[in-house]
Amino acid sequence: MLESILDHLKEPKNRFVWLRESPGTGKTAISMSVASTVESQGTLAASFFWDKN
């Protein structure tokens, strides 16, 4: 999954990734892995998390 998302983001036209699934399925872990990887590459990125509480 991580490799697929990172490959997707390499294309300039692909600026966003939307992760949507039930609670507890690993969305946050995937997001944190993507953020960590792009940070180590020196890539500018941002992430947003919504909490419905």
Domain encompassing residue 1: 1-11+25-42
52 within a domain of the structure (yes/no): no
What would the pLDDT profile of 10-51 be if each residue is shown by its tens digit? 898 998 899 999 989 999 899 999 999 999 999 888 877 777
Q: Is residue 29 part of a domain?
A: yes
Whether 5 maps to a domain, the answer reads yes
Tally of structural domains, the chain: 1
Look at residue 51 and tell me if it is in a domain. no
Work out the pLDDT band at 6, boundaries 50, 70, 90: very high
Q: Which residues lie closer than 8 Å to 30 by C-beta, 6 or more apart? A: 1, 2, 5, 19
Note whether 1 and 30 are within 8 A (CB).
yes
Q: Is residue 2 situated within a structural domain?
A: yes
Classify residue 53: in a domain, yes or no.
no
Amino acid at 50: W
Is residue 49 assigned to a domain? no
Residue 47 lies in a domain: no
